[in-house]
Homo-oligomer: A and B are copies of this chain.
């Protein structure tokens, strides 16, 4: 088994050399951190859509809609793209339609793979445990920023590489090794490390710095959001080896 990291949705086709692959899509600031929060708080499904127009059409049909473009919340939306907005009061038992600058783009790119899961620091160990239970090759797909490399998603890739390499996965690939080095440099203080990133400036300019600590907090939930290519929905998959009680304990 191997694990590698793909730094941009535009590069996905060059990394997905195996159809029987687990693809872990990550967009730390903020889409996948927010999706994990929505499931932690009881959402029944997240419906990722590519365009703001699609999101608006869902809103007009009565759906809850969240997301952003260029860090700014849709004017028609119920939520933006911060984990703390998706409270149990608002999302428990509900489906949420969701569209973001990079996260839903990355999900769309990898939608054809055999297993697409949503990863964030919040469910890092749940993701690692799931991968180990499946014993398949793993590719972390970083959403990046408008197809560019970004620091925070690669850092998550490094954190997952560390866990799977420790369990015997082959991570002897250039991107995986560099992501691992980043994580090893950052892990004693990820909040400090990430101050150098471009996204911090975007969040700051939009008054959103309070989300940073939420998005970097590790293992705050055991949700395992899985994309179903038939229904085009993401649901929390309580896979067989996952303790059935863990979600309620963590909530």
Contacts and interface: CB of A to CB of B under 8 A. Distances in A.
Nearest to A175: B149
B147 A174 contact: no
A60 interface: no
Interface of chain A: mostly helix, strand, loop or mixed: helix
Interface in A71-103: none
A156 interface: no
Interface in A167-186: 172-175, 177-178, 181-182, 185
B182 A149 contact: no
Contacts of A151: 174, 177-178
Nearest to A184: B185
Nearest to A15: B148
A10 B196 CA distance: 25
Interface string A114-155: 000000000000000000000000000000011111110010
**How many residues of A sit at the interface, in one of the four size bands?**
20 to 34
A214 B28 CA distance: 40
A8 interface: yes
Given A149-B175, A174-B197, A14 B7 contact: no
Contacts of A185: 181
Contact of A149 (B7, B148, B181, B196): B7
A70 to B, nearest CB: 15
Contacts of A218: none
A11 interface: yes
Given A11-B11, A14-B147, A148-B15, A178 B182 contact: yes
A160 B182 CA distance: 19
Leading 5 A-B pairs by shortest Cβ distance = A14-B147, A151-B174, A149-B175, A150-B174, A177-B196
Interface of A: 7-8, 10-11, 14-15, 145-151, 154, 172-175, 177-178, 181-182, 185, 196-199
